[in-house]
Chain A
Amino acid sequence: MSNGLRNWLQSQKHTRGFHPSWILLVVAATLVVAGLVWIPASLVAKTEYDRLPASGAAAARPPAAQPGNIPAVNERPGAPARQGPRTLRVAFSPPQADAIPGGEFGAAVRLGRNIFNDTQTYARAYVGNGLNCVNCHLDEGRKADSAPLWAAFGMFPAYREKNHKVNSYEERLSGCFRFSMNGKAPPPGSKELMALMSYSYWMAQGAPIGVELAGRGYPKLKEPPQPPDAQRGKIVYEAQCALCHGADGQGTRVGGRYAFPPLWGKDSFNAGAGMTRIRNAAGFIHANMPLGKGGTLSVQQAWDIARYMNSHARPPDPRTARS
């Protein structure tokens, strides 16, 4: 305690009635209390607290989101809002695979996980290239910023520009089969789709419905300082990506399977896939590649490589090929 304050307290012991310093003290205390109330209130306003679904709102702010628990309000007031009516971003962390339950439902979840990680084996009939779902949705479909399943599940049915209609979640899964996997959609209600739905549902348990979770989709990368350029992209590609994906983009095979997936050519995603949009590809690459070193490329580099990657031949878009 400072000397001045101690002296003042001493002097107060000897004063019986009113002392002018009391006014100061009361005013200061009022300001402090007002501040304490106002700061959190303004934080809450910034995260658009009022749009939280009724149940989740009460969970004030636990230190970190627990697997499967009601998610915490994301404390990034400046987080970029996405288009659409739901701009609230909520943090959620999905359960670990060890927590998959037993029983029939657990078996469906497990099959979904197997299909997702090893589509080549478990859904062979619906795949027309060398990829697995997990190649573009890292960590078994769990990793934020690589279009994780737990963030997707509660956002459907939704209208999609791609086919100009409202899509169920099942139809969304089928989309990646047709385009990203250059295959065909498993029939509605098939055991493959049911398993993938079960896996996604299990992972999304406890997450709110219709709320954009932080980490959904591929991140929206800033516009590059200069227009994306494939020639510049080629140079960075050779330095940063060719080691694994090959100088010719054809990936690396071990025993007939791709250890590193192809980025173009006949075994890669087709020309109708979301990854052929430079914007999507740049977002994915910037956040996730080179493997284990996500976020190390510059924004410009990511756009340039995305342009370069998508300037190569790949299987045709099944929609235009048919007509």
Chain B
Amino acid sequence: MCLQADDMSTNCPPSRRAPVRPFQGGGRSAWRVLIAAALLLSAPARADPRAGAALARQGATGAPACMACHGARGEGQAAAGFPRLAGQPQAYLLKQLEDFASGQRKSPQMEPIARALGTRQRRDAAEYYASLPAWSAEAAPAAPPSPAGLGARLATRGNWDKGLPACFACHGRDGTGITPHFPALSGQPSAYTRAQLKAWQAGTRGNDPQGLMKSVADRMTDAEVDAVSLYLENPASGGRRP
């Protein structure tokens, strides 16, 4: 049999080998740029971050001002466990609003608010919050740096003995997110992170693509959930691979 056509050590007829063409770059990318530009120009209604800002400040019919819960600069509210929105990927924020609206993601607070918003308003809000300054290790508030230890280890290295990748493998270096699908975790109130991890474990949050986050959360112990949630609040110190 010639299934090993890929295997150089077998004597399969050359015709059955997988064609491996040498790389030819360029050419097509110019077209891509042109097409992208054309699409951008012809897009009917661009999301408007200024409309989003107004929404955040004043709210809309049926939707209270986002600021009331998510903070004046989208920084969230640590005590209440309301999430930080500032600097999250636009696509991620939009998806969450759509999932709240459709009931794919459950939240007694956010479902009615997302439903009260039109498609256009959801895009504006997502655009606005994505444009606000993201958490960064340098600009982190003077909060005490998170302790190194279990939480830091999970975030930067994971625990492969039980198949758990590093959080930062998917959520980016220093947990600052990977646009468009992977939200930032750093700077997020620990109560929020903890609640989300528990929600995945309990099956009450299930809107993650390919069940990727569910398979991570399911492998975590309570102690690991606590440690990593605390660590992610301010991973400024020891956040890189030690």
Contact = CB atoms under 8 A, between A and B. Distances in A.
A122 B45 CA distance: 46
A223 B63 CA distance: 57
A68 to B, nearest CB: 15
Contact of A161 (B4, B8, B209, B212): B8
24 contacts: A93-B161, A97-B242, A139-B157, A139-B158, A139-B160, A223-B1, A239-B210, A240-B210, A243-B210, A259-B172, A259-B178, A265-B25, A266-B25, A276-B6, A277-B7, A278-B6, A290-B212, A292-B216, A293-B215, A311-B19, A313-B20, A315-B22, A315-B23, A316-B22
B166 to A, nearest CB: 9
Nearest to A253: B178
B211 interface: yes
A179 to B, nearest CB: 12
Contacts of A117: 241
A216 interface: no
Nearest to A252: B178
Given A259-B172, A265-B23, A294 B163 contact: yes
A277 B241 CA distance: 32
A271 interface: yes
Contacts of A243: 181, 209-210, 212
B90 to A, nearest CB: 15
B22 A313 contact: yes
B61 interface: no
Given A277-B8, A310-B6, A140 B178 contact: no
A138 B160 contact: yes
A223 B212 CA distance: 27
Contacts of A314: 20, 23
A89 interface: no
Contacts of B4: 278-279
A161 B163 CA distance: 33
Given A243-B210, A279-B7, A310-B18, A292 B25 contact: no
Given A292-B163, A292-B165, A279 B20 contact: no
B26 to A, nearest CB: 10
A317 B23 CA distance: 11
Interface string B171-215: 011000011010000000000000000000000000001111001
A291 B178 contact: no
Contacts of B24: 313
B170 interface: yes
Contacts of B173: 254, 259
Given A243-B209, A271-B22, A307-B18, A278 B172 contact: no
Contact of B20 (A142, A162, A271): A271
